[in-house]
Homo-oligomer: A and B are copies of this chain.
Amino acid sequence: MVTRMAVGAVRRETTTAKAEETRERIVDAALTLFRDQGFDETTMRDVASAAGVATGGAYYYFRSKEELVMAFYARTAVEARTLLSAAIERSSDLRKRLRTVIDLKFEQFAEHRRLLIAIVRIGIDPSHPLSPFGAETKAMREESIDAFRSALGGPATKIPNDLQADLPRLLWMYQMGLILFWIFDRSHGQRRTKLLLDGTLDLIVRLLQLASLPLMGPIRRKLLAILRAIEE
């Protein structure tokens, strides 16, 4: 029998402590090298020798070089869970709560912009096993979406009933768009992403307030109808 991790190579049921330690050494070596010299510039031979294993050593634990990047993604997801549950509650304003969720992701990613370029190249294709849109990463994705659900949960902004169910997913997609923009934003200190975030978040909160107006009803329903039509 074989167990499959949320993100990770196919692993046998039993693993020794030493093996687990080797695995960690490989991830550490890889992420450090990726961060310091970039994904493309880092050789699997580099990773292996930094981790103190043979040339093909990493392939016992990871199916590919790309999968090593996903180990980073998995690490930050775990970290985010604990950090967020505390932080969200601290503000009651919807705008601020959404900011908290988004800012945390950016803080986590700040050191690893170059690494994320690789993630995007991989992840843009939903049929790739490691895509953030694919089946294999569903658990992680749902957790990220849940962050937005709890950010929406608290405050008094009235949200139309028909929007309730889909809004967290929509906001998650919005966040993915922001991250994409940020990765490729070459303005100083990613100034432009900040402008985009400030502007669009404002706009979103405002639109949510307007969304209850009768005039917006048809448009809102249309939008939701489209959204549902294109889901499988």
Indicate if A126 sits at the interface (CB-CB under 8 A): yes
Interface with B: A17-25, A152-160, A202-210, which one? A202-210
| Copies of this protein chain in the complex | 2
Task: Map CB proximity to B onto A112-149 as digits: 1 under 8 Å, 0 otherwise.
Answer: 00000100110011110000000000000000000000
Is A199 touching B120 in the complex (CB atoms < 8 A)? no
Residue of B nearest to A196 (CB): B230
Indicate if A4 sits at the interface (CB-CB under 8 A): no
Given A196-B226, A206-B219: A124 touches B126 (CB 8 Å cut-off): no
Given A120-B125, A184-B126, A186-B127: A203 touches B219 (CB 8 Å cut-off): yes
Task: Map CB proximity to B onto A178-204 as digits: 1 under 8 Å, 0 otherwise.
Answer: 001100101100001101100110110
Q: Could you say which residues of chain B place their CB within 8 Å of the CB of A127?
A: 184, 186
Is B229 touching A199 in the complex (CB atoms < 8 A)? yes
Q: What is the interface of chain A mostly: helix, strand, loop, or mixed?
A: helix
Q: Could you say which residues of chain B place their CB within 8 Å of the CB of A192?
A: 229-230
Indicate if A13 sits at the interface (CB-CB under 8 A): no
Is B230 touching A195 in the complex (CB atoms < 8 A)? yes
Indicate if A222 sits at the interface (CB-CB under 8 A): yes
Indicate if A225 sits at the interface (CB-CB under 8 A): yes
* Interchain CA distance A19-B121 in the complex, whole Å: 34
Q: Could you say which residues of chain B place their CB within 8 Å of the CB of A125?
A: 117, 120-121, 184
- Looking at the assembled complex, report how far the CB atom of A107 sits from the nearest CB atom of chain B, in whole angstroms: 21
Q: Could you say which residues of chain B place their CB within 8 Å of the CB of A219?
A: 203, 206-207, 210
